[in-house]
Amino acid sequence: MTREQQLCNGISPWLSPVAMVITQDLVLRQFFRGVTVLDGHHLPHSGPVLLAPTHRSRWDSLLLPNAAGRRVSRRDCRFMVTIDEMRGLQGWLLRRLGCFAVDQNRPTLQSLRYAVELLQQGQQLVVFPEGRIKRDHETPIRLQQGLARLALLARSQGVDVPVLPVGLAYQHRPARWRDRAAVCFGAPLMAGGRGRDGAQAFSHELALAMERCERRACAAIGARAALAEAANDSP
């Protein structure tokens, strides 16, 4: 059994296009009034790339393929997700859409090696470096070091992978019916250094870049005022 067969089912040739039509042509268009994409020229259409998006809503997993997936870059978004996301019917679907799980507390060497294999194949890998959805809009972005360690591991295997910070924003948190949404791609970063210190330094650099992208995304749809209003209204 291959590593891919152990971790996921690859990308289903029939389910993937069906899911794309349902999510992008039906669900997103019906729920959101519009989706703005900023600085799409930063997104490479070939070669390995790690996308590092902010994580504010479950809508993130639909917005990102809409902005960076097959219709835009002619390749799929391969998501690294938490173990909890891979349970039940949702897990059955995600495995057939190319997603695979990682234990954030104890990531296995098998899952990391599979991620590096995808990058060696020149694929587009998505990792939410905050780990889980963060709805608090006041505290600075804090990243787990899994993505940085993955980028450094790939580099040690001869794959210098660009890491793209991505900011996602909605007019409200949580997103409301007929809201506007935005996706902002930042300039690619390259992980450097070694070990824990290298991972910490790169995580800090990436967090700042993600914050800049998120601010630009918020400004593009007028979300800053809405977020400030929500902060004033919160107890």
pLDDT digits (tens, 9 = 90+) for 190-232: 998 888 899 999 999 999 999 999 999 999 999 854 444 444 4
Cβ contact 137:173 at 8 Å: yes
- Predicted local confidence at residue 2, as pLDDT: 56
Cβ contact 90:205 at 8 Å: no
- Predicted local confidence at residue 233, as pLDDT: 42
Structural domains in the chain (count): 1
The CATH number given to whatever domain includes residue 182 is 3.40.1130.10
- Predicted local confidence at residue 3, as pLDDT: 57
Q: What predicted TM-score, i.e. pTM, was given to this entire model?
A: 0.90
Domain membership of residue 180 as a residue range: 3-233
- Beta-sheet strands, E only, within the chain: 34-38, 49-53, 77-82, 100-102, 124-127, 163-170, 180-185
Tell me which residues of the chain have a pLDDT lower than 70: 1-7, 104-108, 137-138, 224-235
| 217: exposed, middle or buried (Cβ count in 10 Å: 0-12, 13-18, 19+) | buried
Q: The tokens 């019916």 sit on which residue?
A: 177
Report the amino acid identity of residue 145: Q
- Predicted local confidence at residue 208, as pLDDT: 97
- Predicted local confidence at residue 87, as pLDDT: 86
